[in-house]
Amino acid sequence: MRTSQYLLSTLKETPADAEVISHQLMLRAGMIRKLASGLYTWLPTGLRVLKKVENIVREEMNNANAIEVSMPVVQPADLWQESGRWEQYGPELLRFVDRGDRPFVLGPTHEEVITDLIRNEISSYKQLPLNFFQIQTKFRDEVRPRFGVMRSREFLMKDAYSFHTSQESLQETYDAMYEAYSKIFSRMGLDFRPVQADTGSIGGSASHEFQVLAQSGEDDIVFSTGSDFAANIELAEAVAPAAPRAAASEALRLVDTPNAKTIAELVEQFQLPVEKTVKTLMVRATEESGHKLVALLVRGDHELNEVKAEKLAQVAAPLTFATEEEIRAIVGAGPGSLGPVNLPMPVVADRSVAAMSDFGAGANVDGKHYFGINWERDLPLPQVADIRNVVGRRRQPGWSGHAADQTRHRSGPYLPARHQVLGSDESDRAG
């Protein structure tokens, strides 16, 4: 086709809201145009690229003996209510009613639909295993769409679902999908890592994400340069310090700190090493715990891993940080002055905190901190768990060789790879 008969709409200038290079180039090359926040029109050039990617995905899925189907984007609410994800999925699930006041959702994924199909169509376990895939539009009502089509609200996704009668059969299909996804990313010439990941609201007992190494993105992973180990930052285990906790060498003292409301301010004003400070974060507790809040302790230079923290028995899901009003009602002090001494609630300390001595933390009185805190002398050692993010260049379980620094990554921009192995409940119901 001649260019005079083709829509080749390029841009000289980069739009101001294009944050990352991929978004900028796709706009300037005339591949996409923004319709609204998180919604894009694929122009002819972009659609050609998208179709080529789609064809690679389809070829490899066909080679893996997966069966292609196409399921509706609009899904009845009763399926989501039956699965328990109607409330669990949260505000990303776009809910609406039709003219007959029947509730529906715009599908962010299709576990409910494919399971309903199988329980109605499969009459015997002898028909299993079965492995289905589709390339279909999805919608997730992202609170802050960004990075162009990489974090949009409407997007095209390849998703696959399989049904089995045994763990061995399930593992065979999972391995086949792992190999198929590896071939897909390799054919595209991408530098990628399959990483162990949290299953999140999708559910399941195990999950791998195929992450593309890039300068832009919002997913952190850790990986070994000497082995195949790689994990999402949310799942990577942070080991406990190898050295035993040092003996106390300082007396406990209460210090006025009226202008130190953050760890950075405390360190700067009192010349305290940041690794000798403790952050106290408060989150809402489960009803079963008998408390309203749980205190989580991490070292001043570490970050709380919210996925790990949410898995604690006392922590309510989804993890929700306490408001200042909730904290003051129980502790009597506000954020910036919180610490583990004499807290009237369950306390969970990260492994690195449990190994500390002579550390500083809030005194649970506004404008005051304790310095020289020591476990067992000034307060009992609380429950200890891995609740922090891994820090680069530290040896972790499963690593060999040198550990690479945490690096920004992003999964496949057009067709994120996902394979869902569904449990045996619905297979049993099918006979």
Domain boundaries, the chain: 3-190+423-429, 253-385
**In this predicted structure, what is the pLDDT of residue 411?**
41
pTM of the model: 0.71
Task: Record the tokens describing residue 49, joined without a space.
Answer: 């690229």
Task: Record the tokens describing residue 159, joined without a space.
Answer: 């998703």
3-190+423-429 and 253-385 share one CATH topology?
no
**In this predicted structure, what is the pLDDT of residue 131?**
96
Does domain 253-385 sit in CATH 3.40.50.2300? no
3-state secondary structure of 10: coil
Q: Which fold has domain 3-190+423-429?
A: BirA Bifunctional Protein; domain 2 (3.30.930)
Calculate the alpha carbon distances from 377 to 249, 331, 362, 372 in Å: 12, 22, 17, 11
Query: Which H or E run contains 371?
Result: strand 368-373
**In this predicted structure, what is the pLDDT of residue 392?**
61
**What is the distance between the alpha carbons of residues 154 and 369, in angstroms, rounded to a whole number?**
48
Task: Kindly tell me the sign of the dihedral angle through the C-alpha atoms of 219, 193, 240, 226.
Answer: negative
Instruction: Count other C-beta atoms under 10 Å from residue 68's C-beta.
Output: 13
**In this predicted structure, what is the pLDDT of residue 431?**
29
**In this predicted structure, what is the pLDDT of residue 402?**
37
**In this predicted structure, what is the pLDDT of residue 415?**
36
Instruction: Count other C-beta atoms under 10 Å from residue 277's C-beta.
Output: 23
**What is the distance between the alpha carbons of residues 378 and 369, in angstroms, rounded to a whole number?**
14
**In this predicted structure, what is the pLDDT of residue 395?**
43
Residue ranges of the chain with per-residue pLDDT less than 70: 198-206, 392-431
| CA angle in degrees (0–180, nearest 5) for 143-86-317 | 70
Look-up of token digits 């589709």: 134
- DSSP-derived secondary structure for 155-211: EEEEEEEEE-SSHHHHHHHHHHHHHHHHHHHHHTT--EEEEE---GGG--S--EEEE
Look-up of token digits 């409940």: 425
**In this predicted structure, what is the pLDDT of residue 147?**
87
